[in-house]
């Protein structure tokens, strides 16, 4: 009989912990949550203080029975799910199911799955945390109240199967409002004026026009640029002022959850879900050959930048040995956790300096190796010296009216940048608006100059530019926005993003940027109009703050629910009467139906979005796709004939757009409803039986797969072209427009997937150009 039973939520975690605890402990996994609110009903007794009605999750009966049996055969029980709110809920529900064993039950929390971390946690057991559980329970009930009462309304007003969420709907709103800002954006013209100059000694350098007549330069037109050119003609360029300063760049703090997600997106193109799944495995333990399973990083759901004294000590010792004592600051770098952050756990860091990336890389998957290296380098960097630059700023006059500025810097001491440098997101700042300073000046070399020196004008460069709209969100910038606005918590960012993708409220473009779907925009518009408080960013952030207060024991969870539900119920009642009925709505147009020539077409809503339908329905069932012009005019989209006949009725088939991408449909629809996948004309190279056909993934990305799927699972991202390679005689070419998974450094354009031969365009260059993008998912 084992002395103790340890229950964790993950089989992988159980395997690692078993190695550290030895034969006196039995370690079992609950495999996640064992109880939840029922799927088929609200499951919350609103009239009885919002009492939840939990039930064992379908398929978890055997797990629960096994835990009950094991609990009767030991002397003491340790509940050790993840050290956060969700983990606390799992622990409470397990306790409810095994409490009849009448054995002592304790809570232990592993911040790291190492010998030290596990033995210390077991040696310091705690009671279960009721307030943390109540906070999770309040969040679960809030989400259920919103989701299960707004979603049926959307089913009735828009279409079945839709869902609304207290947090997910606000995230969709962010994406929708960004898209609206992009559409409303009016580009403004501006001109950069750069003087290419030379001093007594090389190199030549560029300086940007910074001031005209004592005011900040603001050149908006070609005429204005030409006026500058003429005004400068014949003027002498003189160094008016020269300043040299030492600049220090401090290292970034160690990783929090959101920062890890952002940097993994910037460096590797990982989405938030991919990052968290990879981090989970690194935390729970990875098999390292003869050493067995080892937890390589600390707990990965945290918004604290705090490090333990032991962690700082081991980092400083490693830095001194690896990079030299001079790279270790006199005092440890200490980082302040932002106000309102949960500080229960350390920042994300390696558990030991005994496992440098190069030592364990052979045992890790490619994703694990990338993410572990990122965590390792960020952790070391945060305890190193700052990077030191010699920065030079030169102000140059060209006659009495014009002033230019050149800036440059030289790295004097790499400091932490020898190990790690944080990447940044693009901004919406027009180039050259910072008093003549450019991005990227750090690497610019300037010649030796002194105040009063005359400079020679080599050439004057003028360049037309336009301000750019705010960019669509990437995984990194959407997580950053959620964090900054207080929407969700570290443990929820990945799931929020995954849900809005799965529900098809947003989609990802090939460049990995989020764009709202028509469905997402329609649902957001309805929710903002009818549930303004639920969709309010500040209200959602305030609810997160309240949930934190419940966990801290300063706010009652039932009071929170009562305060929320009263106004929500009233709003819900009003919305049932006043919400627009999109499903049954018909918007008239002046487009005449070409089939019956008797009625005009109306805009209707269907399962694939808006379309034109004959107002004479059901007598005339004609439908058409349409687009709205920039002037707001309705334009019928003419069917693209595919050049093949319908196998059923011999009518021409046309290319149509559907939920899962383009397909062929009979032009006699709805009389004939025959459809076919869009064939590329290329035989599947794997099975030789099917054809490669065009499809679209759940995330909106076009790909090409075998028509015999699932019998053959061959698929590729690049569009196949039915043309053999003249170099190696491969059966077909592909149109590779952007780099993706497995194509780093390979040529772009129409290329051979076998030998990378590139088809040259008429002008002599490749047929397509592109920039690196995130790995296709």
Look at residue 137 and tell me whether its pLDDT is greater than 60.
yes
CA 686/CA 705 separation, integer angstroms? 11
pLDDT score at 650: 92
Chain segment 371-394, per-residue pLDDT in tens:
999 999 999 999 999 999 999 999
pLDDT at 466: 96
Q: Give the mean model confidence (pLDDT) for residues 639-650.
A: 87
The Cβ of residue 264 has, within 10 Å, a number of other Cβ atoms equal to 27
- HSE at residue 465, side-chain half, CA atoms within 13 A, is 17
Higher-pLDDT residue of 399, 425: 399
Asked whether the predicted pLDDT for residue 214 surpasses 90, the reply is yes
Q: What is the pLDDT of residue 522?
A: 95
How far is Cα 400 from Cα 214, in angstroms, rounded to an integer? Answer: 9
pLDDT at 641 (0 to 100): 83
Looking at residue 741, its pLDDT comes to 47
For residue 164, how far is the Cα from the chain centroid? 20
Rg of the chain over Cα atoms, rounded to whole angstroms, equals 31
Q: Which of the pair, 254 or 438, is modelled with greater confidence?
A: 254
Provide the pLDDT for residue 679: 84
- pLDDT category of residue 226 using cuts at 50, 70 and 90: very high
Beta-bridge mates of residue 77: 5, 105
Triad 501, 503, 504: Cα angle to 5°: 65
Whether 763 has a pLDDT exceeding 50, the answer reads no
**Pairwise CA distance, residues 549 & 486, whole Å:** 14
Rounded to an integer, the average pLDDT of 395-419 is 94
Partners of 640 in the β-ladder: 655
Q: 741-760 as b/e, with b when 16 or more CB fall inside 10 Å?
A: eebeeebbbbbbbbeebbbe
> 617 catalytic, yes or no?
no
Residue 546, helix vs strand vs coil: helix
Taking only the tens place, the pLDDT of each residue in 466-519 is 999 999 999 999 999 999 999 988 889 999 999 999 999 999 987 789 999 999
Mean pLDDT (whole number) for 25-52: 95
Does 308 have pLDDT greater than 80?
yes
State what percent of residues in the chain have pLDDT above 90. 74
| Alpha-carbon separation of residue 453 from 236, 406, 417 (angstroms) | 10, 14, 35
Residue 602 scores a pLDDT above 80: yes
Burial (0-12, 13-18, 19+ Cβ within 10 Å), 234: exposed
Asked if the model's pLDDT at residue 559 lies above 90, the reply is yes
Structure-block tokens of residue 100: 């009849």
Q: What is the pLDDT of residue 430?
A: 36
Cis amide bond preceding 670, omega within 30: yes
- Place 443 in a pLDDT band, splitting at 50, 70 and 90: low
Q: In the prediction, which pLDDT does 546 show?
A: 95
Pair of tokens at residue 20: 């550290």
pLDDT over threshold 90, residue 721? yes
| DSSP characters over 74-116 | SSEEEE---SSHHHHHHHHHHHHHHGGG---EEE---SS-SHH
740 pLDDT more than 70: no
Cβ–Cβ under 8 Å, residues 68 and 47: no
- The mean pLDDT value for 290-313 works out to 93
Say how far apart CA 136 and CA 148 lie, in whole Å. 18
**Mean pLDDT rounded to a whole number for the chain:** 89
- For residue range 78-127, list pLDDT tens digits in order: 999 999 999 999 999 999 999 988 899 999 999 999 999 999 999 999 99
The region of weakest confidence among 319-323, 336-340, 463-467 is: 336-340
Rounded CA separation 23/29 (Å): 17
The pLDDT of residue 739: 52
Q: Which helix (H) or strand (E) holds 29?
A: strand 25-29
SS3 assignment for 648-714: CCCCEEEEEEECCEEEEEECCCCCCCCEEEEEEEEECCCCCCCEEEEEECCCCCEEEEECCCCCCCC
pLDDT digits (tens, 9 = 90+) for 47-86: 999 999 999 999 999 999 999 999 999 999 999 999 999 9
- As a whole number of angstroms, the distance between CA 481 and CA 178 comes to 11
Biggest CA–CA distance in the chain, Å, is 97
Full-model pTM: 0.80
Catalytic, out of 54, 78, 283, 299: 299
Is residue 270 very low, low, confident or very high in pLDDT (cuts 50, 70, 90)?
A: very high
Q: Mean pLDDT, to the nearest integer, of 610-628?
A: 91
Instruction: Give the H/E segment covering residue 196.
Output: strand 189-198
In the chain, the percentage of residues whose pLDDT exceeds 70 is 93
For position 429, what pLDDT does the model report? 37
Distance CA 281, CA 539 (A): 35
* Per-residue model confidence (pLDDT) at position 772: 31
Residue 660: its pLDDT value, please? 66
Specify the pLDDT at position 766: 38
What DSSP letter does each residue of 253-308 carry, written as one string?
Answer: PPB-HHHHHHHHHHHH---HHHHHHHHHHHHH-EE-GGG-EE--B--S--------
């Amino acid at each position: 009989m084992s002395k103790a039973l340890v229950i964790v939520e993950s089989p992988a975690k159980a395997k690692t912990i078993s190695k550290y605890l030895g034969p006196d402990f039995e370690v079992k996994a609950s495999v996640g949550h064992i109880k939840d609110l029922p799927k088929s009903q609200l499951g919350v007794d609103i009239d009885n203080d919002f009492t939840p009605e939990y039930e064992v999750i379908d398929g978890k009966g055997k797990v629960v029975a096994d835990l009950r049996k094991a609990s009767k055969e030991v002397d003491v029980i340790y509940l050790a799910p993840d050290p956060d709110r969700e983990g606390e809920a799992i622990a409470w529900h397990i306790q409810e199911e095994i409490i009849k064993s009448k054995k002592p039950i304790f809570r232990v929390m592993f911040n790291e799955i190492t010998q030290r971390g596990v033995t210390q946690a077991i040696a310091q057991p705690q009671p279960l945390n009721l307030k943390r559980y109540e906070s999770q329970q309040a969040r679960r009930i809030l989400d259920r109240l919103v989701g299960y009462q707004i979603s049926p309304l959307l089913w009735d007003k828009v279409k079945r199967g839709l869902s609304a969420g207290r947090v997910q709907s606000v995230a969709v709103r962010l994406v929708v409002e960004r898209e609206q800002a992009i559409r409303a954006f009016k580009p403004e013209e501006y001109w950069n004026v750069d003087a290419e100059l030379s001093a007594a000694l090389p190199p030549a350098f560029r300086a940007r026009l910074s001031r005209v007549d004592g005011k900040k330069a603001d050149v908006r037109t070609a005429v204005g640029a030409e006026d500058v050119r003429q005004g400068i003609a014949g003027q002498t360029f003189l160094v008016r002022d020269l300043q040299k300063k030492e600049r220090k760049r401090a290292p970034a703090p160690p990783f929090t959850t959101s920062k890890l997600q952002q940097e993994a997106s910037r460096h590797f193109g990982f989405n938030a879900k991919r990052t968290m799944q990879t981090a989970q495995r690194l935390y729970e333990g990875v098999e390292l050959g003869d050493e067995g399973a080892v937890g390589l990083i600390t707990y990965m759901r945290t918004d604290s930048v705090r490090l333990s004294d032991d962690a700082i000590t081991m980092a400083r010792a490693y830095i001194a040995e690896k990079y030299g004592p001079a790279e270790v600051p006199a005092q440890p770098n200490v980082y302040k956790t932002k106000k309102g952050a949960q500080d229960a756990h350390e920042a994300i860091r390696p558990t030991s300096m005994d496992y440098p990336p190069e030592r364990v890389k052979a045992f890790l998957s490619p994703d694990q190796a990338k993410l572990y290296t990122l965590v390792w380098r960020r952790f070391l960097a945060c305890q190193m010296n700052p990077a030191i630059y010699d920065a030079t700023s030169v102000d140059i006059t060209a006659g009495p009216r014009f002033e230019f500025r050149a800036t440059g810097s030289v790295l004097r001491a790499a400091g932490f940048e020898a190990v790690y440098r944080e990447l940044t997101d693009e901004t919406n700042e027009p180039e050259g608006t910072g008093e003549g300073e450019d991005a990227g000046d750090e690497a610019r070399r300037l010649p030796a100059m002194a105040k009063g020196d005359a400079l020679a004008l080599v050439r004057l460069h003028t360049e037309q530019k336009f301000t750019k709209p705010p960019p669509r969100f990437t995984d990194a910038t959407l997580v950053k926005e959620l964090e900054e606005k207080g929407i969700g918590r570290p443990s929820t960012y990945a799931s929020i993003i995954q849900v809005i993708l799965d529900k098809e409220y947003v989609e990802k473009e090939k460049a990995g940027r989020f764009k709202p779907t028509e469905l997402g925009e329609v649902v957001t518009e309805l929710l903002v109009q009818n549930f303004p408080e639920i969709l309010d960013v500040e209200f959602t952030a305030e609810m997160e703050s309240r949930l934190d207060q419940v966990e801290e024991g300063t706010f009652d969870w039932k009071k929170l629910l009562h305060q929320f539900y009263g106004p929500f119920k009233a709003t819900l009642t009003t919305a049932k009467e006043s919400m627009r009925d999109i499903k049954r709505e018909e918007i008239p147009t002046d487009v005449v139906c070409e089939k019956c020539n008797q009625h005009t077409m109306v805009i209707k809503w269907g399962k694939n979005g808006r379309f034109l339908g004959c107002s004479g329905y059901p007598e005339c069932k004609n439908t058409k796709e349409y687009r709205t012009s920039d002037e707001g005019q309705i334009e019928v989209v003419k069917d693209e004939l595919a050049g093949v006949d319908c196998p059923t009725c011999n009518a021409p088939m046309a290319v149509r757009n559907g939920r899962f991408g383009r397909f062929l449909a009979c032009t006699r629809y709805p009389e004939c409803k025959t459809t076919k996948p869009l064939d590329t004309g290329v035989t599947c190279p794997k099975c030789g039986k099917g054809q490669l056909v065009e499809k679209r993934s759940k995330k909106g990305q076009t790909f090409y797969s075998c028509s015999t799927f699932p019998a053959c699972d061959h698929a590729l991202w690049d569009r196949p072209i039915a043309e053999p390679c003249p170099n190696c005689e491969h059966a077909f070419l592909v149109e590779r427009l952007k780099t993706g998974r497995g194509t780093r450094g390979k040529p772009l354009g129409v290329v051979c997937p076998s030998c990378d031969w590139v088809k040259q365009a008429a002008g002599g260059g490749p047929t397509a150009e592109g920039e690196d993008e995130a790995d296709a998912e």
